Amino acid sequence: MNDMLRQPTDTGTGIAPLAFEAVTVTHRGQPLLGPLDLRLAGCHRTLVMGPNGAGKSLLLRLAHGLLAPSAGRVSWEGTTPRQAMVFQRPVLLKRSAIDNLTYALAVSGTPRPERRDRAREALARFGLAPLEKRPARVLSGGEQQRLALARAWLTRPEVLFLDEPTSALDPAAIRAVEEAVLDFHRRGTRILMTTHDLNQARRLADDVVLLYGGRLIEHTPAERFFTQPRTPEGQAFLRGELVW
Amino acid sequence: MTRRPFATIALALAALSGTGLAQASDDYIVLASTTSTEASGLFGAIIPRFTEATGIEVRVVAVGTGQAFEIARRGDADSLLVHDTAGEERFVEEGYGTERADVMVNDFVIIGPGGDPAGISEAETVAEAMRLIAEVEAPFASRGDDSGTHRAEQRLWETAGVEPGGSWYRELGSGMGPTLNTAAAMDAYVMSDRATWVAFENPQDLTLLFEGDEALFNQYGSLLIDPERHPHLKHDLAEQWHRWLLSEEGQQAIADFTVNGQPLFFPNAHSD
Amino acid sequence: MPADANAFQTALALILGMDPVLLGIVALSVQVSLSAVLIAALLALPLGAALALWRFPGRGAIVVTLNALMGLPPVVAGLAVYLLLSRAGPLGPLGLLFTPTAMVIAQVILILPIIAALTRQQIEELHGEYRDQLRSLGVSRPRMMPTLLWDARFSLITVILAGFGRASAEVGAVMIVGGNIDGVTRVMTTAIVLETSKGNLPLALGLGLVLLGLVLLVNAAAHLVGETARRRLG
């Protein structure tokens, strides 16, 4: 394990902090998340952990603005940064790999003449150059996720959300995704990523957010979380005893 | 790049659709007439001769007599050729038409199954024939659509003193051709205009059983539509058609039309 | 003479004979129905997509109405267009009654609800799948419309074909507004009605087989295009 990677990077602190204030999500009267207070600042790689149903995906969707809280407030303290999200199952358009990328560029207002070159560059960076003309929907799971990352890359996000991006992938593909996450971070992107893989979290996290039953259990720097978690739930989770 | 084939197809379709829908010329009239004249092939024979003589195309909308009157009343046809003298005279009286003239006659015939269970081929008059059918309650297929033919049939029942009804009397609500098709399928008696019957190609066991009574004559009339009520219509061209029908040339064209060597319409315009 | 036995021979003779009258009728049928499908699709695809993407008061009523109109009897559509285009009607001065244009209008009214309702269904389904990703990319709703329509193109081709099938097969509407005028508004279906009323059943059935063949041809072509593309694009 390379210690360099675990250094909290403080470059890119110009990114507005994201604040959750007394946020709750309920569905048909059932509380799913919260009340929850959380503040994410700096250019860290924050890993959101917790057993299934803990509310990890909800937290990400709230942060990205895909979901409005039932009560409370999710807000950026300053200018809303450019954001991108990579989903567990990548949603790719029924077009070729490169057309998926030029589409994202078109939406973000990139002038037409630049789109193709920038898309090719991104394909090459993520090892997809030979697949340029292949329909995105017939790529393998790992290739699809890399394409989704390339698409996110093109929009130069200041904050990148990843919702269990590796849970359906084989080890080689997982490695590729993790390297991509580190690449994003090196470029000054704040990372907020969910995972249920402890080893992955050890490899990537600057700090850890632990959710359990829709509540925030702790938000701790990674070094500390993996050695001496503050809460009994954190200890149980590390022992693999915290389920549901 | 992937968009191009679809765009090309769309363009090709648009181009294809556009052509041919344009109207050829304005030198045509719309004639509302009855199915009997169209289905028998009369118009197919005489209209080309009119067009050759005048350069005017005649577009026939062949419908039931009732609907033909309605189309003309609404101003949707330039000319009218139907066979319901009483209705035609009312059309003029109500101010929709300015002139009505006899053009030709054909006649109705009684058709029935070859076995003739009611024995109408022996009847002296059509009234007797109708009575015979009612007596044995042999199946009878009626148009039942308030057409000229249907009205004529009802007058015949009245003359015969029979009020048709019961399971043997089938009101179909169909045109002449479909009624003949149905009669053929159920071996029923049916009254038809001769023209449609002679040109009809699906008789199966049906055969002509009674004809020739004067009560079966069927008068066709041509009408001119009031230009004041419908000024947009092509009254000049319609009048040319009307006059031509009544002229020697038009009357000859009607007389020359035969099906299987048999004349179906007999011109009877009154030469003034 | 049994009509059914002769029909195939008649149909074959009609096709092989390249009878100019028949060709004219076939060409007009195709032109009228294709025009109607084209116009209906141009209106109904955006309408269906909009209904899938936006929630607004009265939307439910529109959706229910469209679904109900899918079953509109052609005769009723024909009658409505007739009254509209009749000289005594509101659009009378245009002089469109008994022209191919009137037939196109009637067919558009018949198939627009079909294409719109089925499009709404397809787009709603696809939107469910794409929503989060597109919103994440910052795609606005108006911009989503062409994206979803394009990505649903293969199922939408089938939808449009359903419209074409209904347009080319219906007779009630075109009979009333076209008038079945020889050489002007006579199409396959009205010709079939006319030949049936003449008792010329083999010819009527032969024409029916030609029509069936035509619709089959169009469907097979679209199927082939669709399948190839589907396999290529996944």
Q: Which residue of C has its CA nearest to A84?
A: C136
Q: Average of pLDDT values for B14-31?
A: 62
Helices (H), A90-140: 97-107, 112-125
For residue A6, what pLDDT band results from cuts at 50, 70 and 90?
Answer: very low
In A, which residues are within 8 Å of C136 by CB distance? 64, 66, 83-85
- The 10s digit of each residue's pLDDT in A222-241 is 999 999 888 898 888 888 88
* Class (C level, CATH) for A17-238: alpha beta
Q: Is the pLDDT of residue A35 over 50?
A: yes
**A26-36 average pLDDT score:** 89
Do B117 and B246 belong together in one domain? no
| pLDDT tens, residue by residue, A78-119 | 999 999 999 999 999 999 999 999 999 999 999 999 999 999
CATH number of C22-228: 1.10.3720.10
Whole-number percent of chain C with pLDDT over 70:
97
Which residue in A167, A165, A160 sits closest to A183, CA to CA?
Answer: A160
Mean pLDDT of chain B: 88
Q: Is the Cβ–Cβ distance between C123 and C49 less than 8 Å?
A: yes
Q: Are C104 and B21 an interchain contact pair (Cβ–Cβ within 8 Å)?
A: yes
For residue B13, tell me if it sits in a domain: no
CB contact under 8 A, B202 and C179: no
Name the average pLDDT for chain C: 90
Q: Is B19 within a domain?
A: no
Distance from CA of A153 to the nearest CA of B (A): 24
pLDDT for C24 beyond 50: yes
Question: What is the interface pTM, i.e. ipTM, of the complex?
Answer: 0.88
Considering only residues B22 and C11, tell me which one the structure prediction assigns the higher pLDDT.
Answer: C11
Give the count of Cβ contacts less than 8 A between chain A and C.
47
CATH at residue B168? 3.40.190.10
Q: What are the residue boundaries of the structural domains of chain C, listed by start? A: 22-228
Tell me, yes or no, whether B50 and B116 share the same domain.
no
Q: Are B232 and C93 in contact (CB < 8 Å)?
A: yes
A96 chain-B contacts, CB cut-off 8 A: 2
* Selected residue of A94, A100, A156, A192 to mutate for chain C interface (largest C Cβ count, 10 A): A94
pLDDT at residue B65, as a whole number: 85
B2 CB neighbours in chain A (<8 A) are: 95-96, 99
Chain A residues within 8 angstroms (CB to CB) of chain B:
95-96, 99
| Least trusted range by pLDDT, from B8-12, B195-199, B254-258, C27-31 | B8-12
Nearest CA of chain A to the CA of B30: how many Å? Answer: 53
| Domain spans, chain A | 17-238
Question: Is the model's pLDDT at A71 over the cut of 60?
Answer: yes
Chains in contact with A via at least 3 Cβ–Cβ pairs below 8 Å: B, C
Q: Is B148 domain-assigned?
A: yes
User: Does residue B11 fall inside a structural domain?
Assistant: no
List the alpha helices (DSSP H) in chain A: 3-6, 56-64, 97-107, 112-125, 141-154, 171-186, 198-204, 222-227, 232-238
A243 pLDDT band, cuts 50/70/90, is low
pTM of this structure: 0.84
More confident residue, B132 or A10: B132
Q: Are residues B166 and B210 in the same domain?
A: yes
Instruction: Give the number of other CB atoms < 10 A from CB of residue B11.
Output: 10
Tell me, what's the pLDDT at B23? 45
A84, A96, A107 ranked by CB distance to C143: nearest: A107
Q: Which residue of chain B comes nearest to A95, CA vs CA?
A: B2
CA distance C212 to chain B (A): 20
pLDDT cut 70: percent of chain A above it: 93
pLDDT of residue C8: 77
How many Cα atoms occupy the beta-carbon half-sphere of C222 within 13 Å? 19
Is B217 in contact with B109 (CB distance < 8 Å)? no
- pLDDT at residue number B205: 93
Mean pLDDT computed over C90-114: 94
Task: Name chain C's partners: 3 or more CB pairs within 8 A.
Answer: A, B
Q: How far is A57 from chain C (nearest CA, A)?
A: 12
State the Cα–Cα distance between residues B37 and B18, nearest whole angstrom.
Answer: 33
Instruction: Say whether both B179 and B199 belong to one domain.
Output: yes
* Number of structural domains found in chain B: 2
pLDDT band of B22, cuts 50, 70, 90:
very low
pLDDT at B16 over 50: no
In this prediction, residue C1 carries a pLDDT of: 44
Domain that holds residue B66: 27-106+218-267
Residues contacting residue C201 through CB under 8 Å, at least 6 positions apart: B181, B201, B202, C3, C7, C195
